[in-house]
Structure 1
Amino acid sequence: MSPPTSRRVGRPRAQERPASGLPPREEVLAAAAELFTAHGYTATSTRAVAERAGLRQASLYHYFDGKEAILAALLEGTVRPSLEMARELVLRAETAAEARLWALCHSDVLLLCGGPHNPGALYLLPEAQTERFAVFHQVRSELKAAYGELLEDTEPGAALTTEELALRTDLVFGLTESVILIRRADPARDPRALAPATADAALRVAGVPQRSLARQRREGQRLLAAWR
């Protein structure tokens, strides 16, 4: 009778990697966005995120300290690109502010609704409202302020009082972010159709007359084409 062979104990094998072609860190973010929006933040473990991303749980901690850091990165990823664009648009005084505001709204909608998992829906998580994500809230506040600067530079905005401008900024910014709820209710809604429609509506809320809308839209589209 042959002696029993000892069982080799090695490192646990990773799950098969998804065929997305994303780097591991981005794969973790994509997996977390999917699971957080589908099951909630509290109900999703780092183990589940790692498995969905095709990584060992220990490997996940090479990229993030934990679940909180993952959510922070996802939340900030929905506002930082728009803030960078907004800051540049504020400085482009050679272009009508109405067109710049249209371009920002359009781009912001695509960012909020981009990807298969509606990343903007992370705003709706109760955990996202806490002080643990203060950096996200600060960046979002800066983005809202940039919306206000562009709005103030428009012809209708220049005629508003300080209080009226603050309210109008809230309305335009809120309208743009409302696409999160629209996409949540109708995941099949095409963001490429939603973005220009929302940008048009934002200009109307801003006080831009209907007769000027098509011209400002064309100029905004030219800005976006040059941006790419």
Structure 2
Amino acid sequence: MGSSGRRVGRPRAERRPDSGLSPRDELLAAAAELFTTRGYAATTTRAVAERAGMRQASMYHYVSGKEELLADLLESTVTPSLAFARQLLAEDVTPAEDRLWDLCRTDVELLCGGPHNLGGLYLLPEVRAERFAGFHAVRAELKDAYRQLIAATETGGALAKSELDLRTDLVFGLIEGVILVHRSDPDRPVSAFADATADAALRIAGV
């Protein structure tokens, strides 16, 4: 075979089918699987690299280590919902109640709809570290979007600040809490979780 047929890049630990993913995305996919099945603390960088089909030394060409992988995975569970929330906040024709329901449903679908229960990683004690400030920032912005939508409803507009804050905490906690229910009942259709949770969230919001 001539040099034109050789794959360019760092050597891999084993020959694997071409997934079409970049090496970094392969590492993220491997980390998602291992962090959610073996546990974050029990997963070594060697295990992640081997699962992605590369040598451990090559892994550090793409990421700095487990913390960077975890941070990226955490942010990936929030940024799509945040983008959707920004669209909903910018659109003032649809009633706030309907937009709040749509955000709740979509957020649950994104949290529970992937191949791995990444939302469960929120519970890791390591996530409190400063390294995960980016995740906490986007999560706080998403929570504020919930608060703005609740405040924009007919009922929410009459709430005192302390009551609005409480209802926001409860609604946001309900959405994120679905990951625990989903983990204990993974075969239940995600759409069932999403619809029921959105309905319950609106009742908590007083809509």
Q: Under a length normalisation based on structure 1, what TM-score does the superposition of the two structures give? A: 0.81
Residue in 2 that maps onto 1:61: 60
Query: Is the contact between residue 98 and residue 151 of structure 1 (CA under 8 Å) also seen in structure 2?
Result: yes
1:179-194 maps to which residues of 2 (within 5 A)? 179-194=178-193
Residue in 1 that maps onto 2:130: 131
**Max Rg structure:** 1
Structure 1 stretch displaced more, 121-130 or 159-168: 121-130
Residue in 2 that maps onto 1:73: 72
Query: Is the contact between residue 74 and residue 121 of structure 2 (CA under 8 Å) also seen in structure 1?
Result: yes
Change (3 A) 1:73 1:13: closer
How far the C-alpha of 1:158 sits from its partner, in A, is 0.8
1:161 to 2:168 alignment: no
1:17 to 2:16 alignment: yes
Query: Is the contact between residue 18 and residue 53 of structure 1 (CA under 8 Å) also seen in structure 2?
Result: no
How far the C-alpha of 1:169 sits from its partner, in A, is 0.4
Q: For residues 47 and 87 of structure 1, what CA distance do their matches in structure 2 show? A: 39
The one-letter code of the counterpart of 2:142 is L
Q: How far does the alpha carbon of each residue in 1:170-211 deviate from its partner, in whole angstroms, 9 at most, with x for none? A: 011111111111111122222122111111111111112xxx
The one-letter code of the counterpart of 1:103 is D
How far the C-alpha of 1:131 sits from its partner, in A, is 2.1
Query: Is the contact between residue 18 and residue 54 of structure 1 (CA under 8 Å) also seen in structure 2?
Result: no
Unaligned runs of 5+ in 2: 1-9
Residue in 1 that maps onto 2:7: none
How far the C-alpha of 1:33 sits from its partner, in A, is 1.2
Residue in 1 that maps onto 2:108: 109
Q: For residues 125 and 189 of structure 2, what CA distance do their matches in structure 1 show? A: 27
Change (3 A) 1:19 1:140: same
Change (3 A) 1:54 1:13: closer
Q: For residues 179 and 37 of structure 1, what CA distance do their matches in structure 2 show? A: 16
Unaligned runs of 5+ in 1: 1-10, 209-228
How far the C-alpha of 1:45 sits from its partner, in A, is 0.9
Q: For residues 63 and 191 of structure 1, what CA distance do their matches in structure 2 show? A: 33
How far the C-alpha of 1:67 sits from its partner, in A, is 0.9
SS in 2 for 1:155: coil
Name the Cα RMSD after superposition: 1.6
SS in 2 for 1:178: helix
1:80-95 maps to which residues of 2 (within 5 A)? 80-95=79-94
Off by >3 Å, runs of 4+ in structure 1 = 18-23
1:193-208 maps to which residues of 2 (within 5 A)? 193-208=192-207
How far the C-alpha of 1:21 sits from its partner, in A, is 4.1
The one-letter code of the counterpart of 1:149 is Q
SS in 2 for 1:117: coil
How far the C-alpha of 1:18 sits from its partner, in A, is 5.2
The one-letter code of the counterpart of 1:180 is I
How far the C-alpha of 1:150 sits from its partner, in A, is 0.5
Q: How far does the alpha carbon of each residue in 1:95-132 deviate from its partner, in whole angstroms, 9 at most, with x for none? A: 11111111111111111112221111110111112222
How far the C-alpha of 1:12 sits from its partner, in A, is 6.3
1:174 to 2:173 alignment: yes
Q: For residues 200 and 14 of structure 2, what CA distance do their matches in structure 1 show? A: 46
Structure 1 stretch displaced more, 29-38 or 143-152: 29-38
